[in-house]
Chains A and B, each alone.
Chain A
Amino acid sequence: MAAIYSLYIINKSGGLIFYKDYGSKGRMDTNDSLRVASLWHSMHAISQQLSPTIGCSGIELLEADTFDLHCFQSLTGTKFFVVCEPGTQHMEALLKVVYELYTDYVLKNPFYEMEMPIRCELFDINLTQAVQKDRVALLGR
């Protein structure tokens, strides 16, 4: 079964607001996860500068030897990216689902401050359910 290693959410300034690892393979030190998130934010921006045609919106998929990285950027500049096994299918759909959960359980939470780390229990619960559900649902397709 295709595995997700970790999930990151970055705010529009490049700061890490949410990080979750699935298993010890994706685990990263707090400091390292912050650095990786800011680095990704910059790489995403630089890739737009190097486009040969207009209208580039940044890296959507990075393929490496041992993992794939799928990234989704919302219209407001918040980036959701997931590190998974090479060749994992339907990660874009999963990222869209996570975005929907983010809008429902984080943005609509009156106690949540914008651009701050996410500390919403309902978001965590529903995210866990969504990842499990997608893993099962994807196998069935």
Chain B
Amino acid sequence: MQFFGGSEISPSPPVPTATGNNAHMMYVFNRNGVCLLYREWNRPLHTLNPQQDHKLMFGLLFSLKSLTAKMDPTKYHFVSLSLHSFQHQFSVAVYNFLLMMRSAEKGNLGIPQLPGQGCSFHSFRTNTYKLSFMETPSGIKFILVTNPRTGDLRETLKYIYNLYVEYVAKNPLYTPGTLIRCELFNTALDQYVRSIA
């Protein structure tokens, strides 16, 4: 495809990582939880009606992001005093102060994180599916559900984000925050997804 600005800006399509089944489904959410796109290619089981399914998916991702930001081992955490013993009150106060400053980065569970703030997960796997997740700096979340043997799909999601930028964001008739109804985007997406699986 020649419409991309330059090969250094957008990644070239990655080599197919999985053989066999196609991807199951895909969701695109904006930062307010509005489902901008839901594509389904192979989904034998529908547990909930579509609205509940979208809400549940967004809620799951929101909570998982909160969980991973909290569990991030590279951020320091305020440790209760009972685990350490100090000789002097002054050193205690300084130690607490330093830890408080660092723990401010970690935040508490449930506090909404800005896109890119805090450690975020990029995929999780169950015995029946693998969910790959990517959040863009503008808060657009791309979710791809595939079979569990799929490899790392971060590059794939980046490519899909580029498709979104080209066909949706640059579409003058598209209003941000509404359902995506761009035929070109849908066909390009279908074609690309067929080629990765």
Contacts and interface: CB of A to CB of B under 8 A. Distances in A.
Contact of B127 (A5, A25, A46, A57): A57
Contacts of A83: 71, 73
Contacts of A52: 24-25, 42-45, 128-129, 145
Contacts of A39: 63, 66-67, 109
A56 B36 CA distance: 26
Contact of B78 (A29, A58, A66): A29
Q: Which of B57, B78, B121 has the most A CB atoms < 10 Å from its CB?
A: B121
Contacts of A58: 126
Interface residues of B, number: 41
Nearest to B106: A32
Nearest to B75: A66
B70 interface: yes
Interface string A42-63: 1100111111111111111111
A56 B119 contact: no
A26 interface: yes
Contacts of A51: 45, 47, 126, 128-129
Contact of B72 (A30, A35, A66): A66
A64 B109 contact: no
Contact of B126 (A32, A35, A54, A56): A56
Interface in B33-81: 42-45, 47-48, 53, 56-57, 59-60, 63-64, 66-68, 70-74, 77-80
A62 to B, nearest CB: 4
B136 to A, nearest CB: 15
A67 B72 CA distance: 7
A108 B108 CA distance: 38
Interface string B122-141: 11111111010000000000
A65 B77 CA distance: 18
Interface of A: 5, 24-30, 32, 35-36, 39-40, 42-43, 46-67, 69, 83
26 contacts: A24-B79, A25-B73, A25-B74, A28-B71, A32-B77, A36-B71, A39-B67, A40-B67, A43-B60, A43-B63, A46-B59, A48-B126, A49-B47, A50-B57, A52-B42, A58-B126, A59-B124, A59-B125, A62-B64, A63-B124, A64-B120, A64-B121, A65-B120, A65-B121, A66-B72, A83-B71
- CB-based closest 5 A-B pairs: A25-B73, A64-B121, A52-B24, A52-B43, A62-B124
